[in-house]
């Protein structure tokens, strides 16, 4: 069996991944708060953990992996959006949840095995909170229930911060009813016009952190294999999850491995509305950027490194995928290449896996006379392990027939060779290249391929 190594944030080292139960490998990833479209940064962890999900299914079998990703559908941001728009909360969360699934599906992300909504597990949260109060890890104060950070001696271990450091560096909600400034909310009162549920502490709603602790316990048990998310969640969200869960289930390990992806930038800068470089996945899709291209760009950077989205990378990804899809158009997928699997098993080295695919494509293209049925099948199977070149993500590269233009260019070339007047040939070649067409001329003839920055509109009137 393939040996997988993953960088465990909890130990700050790369470790051999050995599942608790190989018959049921379990992974929980923090999902979105559904009040708006997912921006590009939101999509990075989806793609990262989709690749891990595919790898685990490849190694242990699809029926032996359980992947859970939640939806937070009760939150201050959702309530604020409802108040601003006048749209009922359930309509907002229903629409935005489907938007999220559609947009992530366009990136080739498989849907997790379980996608619980926070509002479906309020009773489980109340039960967990009652247990924390009974064991002295939480307390009620003025309709709120708060977790007592001082009651958990290892608080801050995941992020490597002391409580004093966290108080100094965090936006801590100051409240007179808190025993400690770092104590965080498990339950809070709900206003009459806000969503709320009955509880032993009055009508209210859960704090953000308790949601994931309750849902992961109900669906994966008190100890499971992998917990993932962006590194912006490490503190306070994941730190608080650990404290709650380990105190609620003393002696349990909660998550064995913690994986965190780095953040996303745009053209070397932090994505923000003030800089005008903020956009959603839907924005890119509407602009005609294929989801497969977005996915390819993401995979080009290791998940633990900051990822820089650039127009150049987008163009290069599109050109590469056009070539690969054309190259493997007649292929049937076979087992993935061992080097590609090994790269992914080495802490999800997606960039290394792509490098191997580039080498395979180069070898196949360099030997057109060879029967490459097997090589093409292995390359296609390898790409699909990465979620690329799937039938579901195909179709965006069709509708471009350059054969007529290729014949016209071949005729001009023949005339130019006879008359020694290359003006018309050079002019047409320049027009093609300006439209992003890769022009290949050899003794065998002329071949035109959509390349970097291909724009079919620039070919209008050219024949």
247 labeled part of a ligand binding site: no
Omega before residue 63 within 30° of 0, cis? no
The helix/strand count (H/E) of the chain reads as 15, 15
452 labeled part of a ligand binding site: no
- 79 Cβ contact list (under 8 Å, min separation 6): 89, 194, 195
Rounded CA separation 277/352 (Å): 29
Rounded CA separation 428/422 (Å): 10
Is residue 27 within 8 Å of 223, Cβ to Cβ? no
Omega before residue 236 within 30° of 0, cis? yes
Rounded CA separation 127/211 (Å): 12
- 413 Cβ contact list (under 8 Å, min separation 6): 425, 441, 446
Dihedral of CA atoms 368, 370, 371, 372 in degrees, nearest 10, equals -60
Write phi, then psi, for 447 (nearest 5 degrees). -130, 130
Rounded CA separation 257/148 (Å): 25
Please give the structure tokens belonging to residue 279.
Answer: 């956009």
- Between the CA of residue 112 and those of 47, 66, 104, 196, 296, what are the distances in Å? 12, 8, 11, 28, 20
Write phi, then psi, for 267 (nearest 5 degrees). 50, 45
Beta-sheet strand order (sheet of 254-261) = 65-69, 25-29, 223-230, 254-261
Please give the structure tokens belonging to residue 140.
Answer: 């009620």
Report helix, strand or coil for 50.
helix
DSSP string, 204-266: EEE-HHHHHHHHHHHHH-SEEEEEEEEGGGIIIIIHHHHHHHHHHTTT--EEEEEEEEPPEEE
30 labeled part of a ligand binding site: yes
241 labeled part of a ligand binding site: yes
273 labeled part of a ligand binding site: yes
Residue of 217, 219, 239, 81 whose CA lies nearest to 160: 239
Report helix, strand or coil for 280.
strand
Binding residues: 30, 212, 237, 241, 273
Binding residues for Zn(2+): 30, 212, 237, 241
Binding residues for ATP: 273
């Amino acid at each position: 069996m393939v040996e997988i190594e993953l960088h465990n944030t909890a130990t700050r080292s790369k470790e051999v991944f050995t599942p608790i139960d190989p018959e049921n490998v379990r992974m929980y990833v923090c999902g979105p708060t559904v009040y708006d479209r997912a921006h590009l940064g939101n999509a990075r962890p989806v793609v990262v953990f989709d690749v891990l999900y595919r790898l685990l299914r490849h190694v242990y079998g699809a029926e032996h992996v359980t992947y859970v990703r939640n939806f937070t559908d009760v939150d201050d941001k959702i309530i604020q959006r409802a108040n601003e728009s006048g749209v009922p909360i359930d309509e907002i969360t229903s629409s935005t949840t489907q938007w999220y699934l559609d947009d992530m599906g366009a990136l080739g992300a498989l849907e997790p095995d379980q996608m619980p909504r926070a509002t479906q597990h309020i009773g489980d949260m109340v039960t967990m909170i009652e247990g924390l109060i009974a064991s002295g890890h939480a307390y009620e104060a003025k309709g709120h229930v708060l977790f007592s950070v001082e009651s958990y001696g290892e608080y801050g271990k995941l992020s490597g911060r002391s409580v004093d450091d966290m108080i100094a560096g965090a936006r801590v909600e100051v409240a007179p009813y808190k025993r400690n400034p770092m104590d965080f909310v498990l339950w809070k009162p709900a206003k009459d016009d806000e969503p709320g549920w009955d509880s032993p502490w009055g009508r209210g709603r859960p704090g953000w952190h308790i949601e994931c602790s309750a849902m992961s316990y109900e669906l994966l048990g008190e100890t499971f294999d992998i917990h993932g998310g962006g590194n912006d969640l490490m503190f306070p969200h994941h730190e608080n999850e650990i404290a709650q869960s380990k105190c609620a289930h003393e002696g349990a390990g909660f998550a064995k491995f913690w994986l965190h992806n780095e953040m996303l930038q745009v053209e070397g800068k932090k994505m923000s509305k003030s800089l005008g470089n903020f956009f959603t996945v839907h924005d890119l899709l509407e602009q005609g950027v294929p989801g497969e291209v977005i996915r390819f760009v993401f995979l080009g950077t290791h998940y633990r490194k900051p990822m820089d989205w650039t127009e150049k990378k987008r163009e290069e990804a599109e050109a590469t995928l056009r070539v690969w899809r054309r190259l493997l158009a007649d292929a049937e997928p076979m087992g993935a290449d061992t080097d590609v699997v090994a790269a992914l098993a080495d802490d999800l080295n997606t960039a290394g896996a792509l490098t191997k695919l580039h080498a395979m494509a180069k070898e196949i293209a360099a030997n057109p006379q060879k029967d490459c049925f097997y090589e093409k099948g292995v390359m296609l199977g390898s790409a699909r392990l990465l979620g690329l070149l799937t039938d579901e993500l195909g179709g965006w590269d069709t509708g471009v027939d350059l054969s007529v233009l290729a014949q016209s260019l071949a005729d001009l070339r023949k005339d130019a060779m006879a008359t020694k007047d290359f003006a018309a040939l050079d002019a047409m070649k320049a027009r093609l290249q300006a439209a992003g067409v890769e022009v290949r001329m050899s003794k065998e003839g002329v071949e035109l391929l959509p390349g970097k920055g291909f724009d079919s509109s620039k070919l209008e009137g050219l024949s």
